[in-house]
């Protein structure tokens, strides 16, 4: 797997996309926020709800991307010996605002 480096100009071209209501469940989001507050979890900042959600969404997206690229699910024997297989993971740090 290779690293991808995007230029600042390319990052500035990214525009927010409004998700359809059936994808972005407002009630579910409200429940997450309420549970976080009730449990004393901050919504923003280090270890906060937003940071944890961002981490999980990015990990899920990257896992889906590699599955689509390789054409088989994680732990599927179809990739064994194919020369194009999953070969582990490594830690990554993503800086966000």
> What does the pLDDT look like over 30-71, one tens digit per residue?
999 999 999 999 999 888 999 999 989 988 998 899 889 888
Is 86 part of a structural domain of the chain? no
Mean pLDDT in residue range 9-23: 65
Look at residues 38, 73, 32, 37 and name the one whose alpha carbon lies nearest to residue 56.
32
Structural domain count of the chain? 1
**Terminal CA-CA length for the chain:** 26
DSSP state for residue 61 in the 8-state scheme: H
Range of the domain at 54: 39-72
Q: What is residue 74's predicted lDDT score, i.e. its pLDDT? A: 85
Q: Please determine, for residue 93, whether its predicted confidence score (pLDDT) is greater than 90.
A: no
DSSP symbols for 40-93: T--SSSTT-HHHHHHHHHHHHHHHHHHHHHHTS-TT-GGGTTSSS---------
Is 30 part of a structural domain of the chain? no
């Amino acid at each position: 797997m290779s690293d991808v480096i995007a230029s600042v100009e390319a990052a500035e071209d990214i525009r927010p996309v409004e998700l359809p209501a059936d994808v972005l469940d407002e009630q579910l989001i409200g429940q997450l926020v309420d549970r976080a507050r009730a449990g004393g979890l901050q919504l923003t900042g280090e270890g906060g709800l937003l940071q944890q959600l961002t981490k999980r969404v990015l990990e899920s997206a990257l896992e889906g991307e590699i599955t689509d690229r390789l054409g088989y699910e994680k732990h599927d024997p179809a990739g064994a010996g194919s020369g194009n297989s999953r070969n582990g993971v490594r830690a990554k740090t993503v800086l966000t605002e």
